[in-house]
Amino acid sequence: MANTFTQMNVHAVFAVKGRENIIARDFRDELHKYIYGILSKIKQYPLAVNGWNDHIHIFFELMPVSNLSDIMQVVKANSSKWINTKKFEIDFDERYLFEFYE
């Protein structure tokens, strides 16, 4: 049996509810680092996390046994909890956009 190699790169984007410009510069970098950690903890390989005042981009390698919607749910829920513990009140939109790269 031949060895197989699978690499699926995902670019996902999710926004603040109502696209409000409320991801402030003073905690944006810390938020991106936290999301990077979430992806690492759930055994995904983060390549880049970035964004702006109203949305976040994450680019990561999706493990073949993983479910993209579950990953996005974990990332959004945990980052929202972290934001709220920091006394910033931000809700993310339920929707997200993603692209696959092989």
pLDDT class of 42 with cuts at 50, 70, 90: very high
Domain 8-95: top CATH class: alpha beta
Q: Where are the domains of the chain?
A: 8-95
Q: How far apart are CA 101 and CA 29, in angstroms?
A: 25
Query: Residue 6 has what pLDDT?
Result: 81
Query: Residue 44 has what pLDDT?
Result: 95
Mean per-residue pLDDT, 30-45? 95
What does pTM read for this prediction?
0.80
